[in-house]
Amino acid sequence: MANLELYELEGCPYCAKVTKKLDELGLDYDSHMVPRSHGERTEVEALSGQTGVPVLVDNENGVEGMPESDDIVEYLEETYGS
């Protein structure tokens, strides 16, 4: 299992912003596609306290469920950027 996990949705522009940054930084991650229906996103809600995606998990650094694409991009740059 990769250290990084991303909960995302097909066609979600906010998720695309995060995957672009992950690719730019050459980071491996496990992708979890979430159901389109908010009511079924129980795993995302348990991890992050809300049902929106993207949500990032970084097992190595104790990040258990970070929502908000801008926050995730900033976190990735700060943690893994050169």
Ligand X SMILES: N[C@@H](CCC(=O)N[C@@H](CS)C(=O)NCC(=O)O)C(=O)O
Sites of contact with ligand X (CB under 6 A):
9, 12, 14, 38, 51-54, 68-70
Based on CB atoms, which residue is closest to ligand X, 66 or 82?
A: 66
Smallest distance, ligand X to C-beta of residue 74, A: 11
- Report phi then psi at 76, rounded to 5: -65, -45
Is 19 in contact with 25 (CB distance < 8 Å)? no
In the complex, residue closest to ligand X by CB: 52
Smallest distance, ligand X to C-beta of residue 35, A: 11
- Residue type present at position 3: N
Residues whose CB falls within 8 Å of the CB of residue 46, separated by 6 or more in sequence, listed in order? 65
